[in-house]
Structure 1
């Protein structure tokens, strides 16, 4: 091969690697989701489900906690009469059902796009 051909092939390979990197960054940003905790139609917490944490807040009836672990979330502790929202268990981005606590007027759901 001539030197000119090697340079052209090298430039082509570098451009292809750059396009693949840009495509990967673009698709990763599309798959990113945000989860919201909403109280009285006001977003009080937004979190990334890929970062493990425990969020504490107060609803209309009392205190609540949302645990986030391994891309999933759940209500762990809440002050309300029936504790139905903690009975829902773990929810992930693939679940279309939000966690709702009617006495606290709170729901936890994936942020609408």
Structure 2
């Protein structure tokens, strides 16, 4: 399961509305790099692969490639505004360590 907090849901919907395409999918993934081993990727796409795994959270379909699931399983995404600027926050039980920015992590997977 991958879930979005209500605040993250609002922000994803806000960003999606700026794309002027209601059929876009919200893709979540990881890539090598960042301050630690892995960094998160979030993007909108028009199509999904037949092998993709789809989660539902607060009415949003979250599309994940199966090879990245071991890094993202049980992830919760939040969003908050603060004095230093807003941003997505990742609560990843698979991460054994995260960098101070919160966008990259190390895992034992």
- Is TM-score (shorter-chain normalized) higher than 0.5? no
TM-score relative to the length of structure 1: 0.26
Determine which structure has greater relative contact order: mean sequence separation of CA pairs < 8 Å that are 6+ residues apart, divided by chain length.
2
Structure with a larger share of its residues in strand = 2
Larger Rg: 1
Structure with a larger share of its residues in helix = 1
